[in-house]
Amino acid sequence: MIEEFAARLIAGFTPATLILLTLVSIVAALVMRRWSQLSAAALFAFAVDCLARYLLELGAAEGVPVNFAMELAMTRLDAGAISAMARPFLYLGVIAALFWVKKRYGGK
């Protein structure tokens, strides 16, 4: 059961989504000034992730109606349902870790 859960979780992340997760998290952690902004930064990062999926689906095929591209993006986001549910928490954790490193080792 745990192996199936892990397989589904790993299948939901492609190298492109991991790169996007890393880049957006770095930007959000650099923009943050206080710990109280963590939830807003994670929400912003998740919104950018969802918007990037939509724009990639919209730009991938020429002549695709906007509502079909949105439906396809949401379907692909939900294709790995476990990873889709884990994404906001991953953003929260990665941004918190990067912000902690910035506070700990960054100059003032």
pLDDT band at 64 (very low <50, low <70, confident <90, very high): low
Q: In Å, how far are 9, 11, 12, 61 from 44, measured between CA atoms?
A: 22, 24, 21, 27
Q: Is the dihedral of CA 27, 96, 41, 31 positive or negative?
A: negative
Q: How confident is the model over 24-57, as pLDDT tens digits?
A: 999 999 888 999 999 999 988 888 888 887 777 6
Which range has the top average pLDDT, 18-27, 47-56, 78-87? 18-27
Rounded mean pLDDT of 53-76? 68
> Taking the domains of the chain in order of start, what are their residue ranges?
2-105
Determine the pLDDT at residue 36.
92
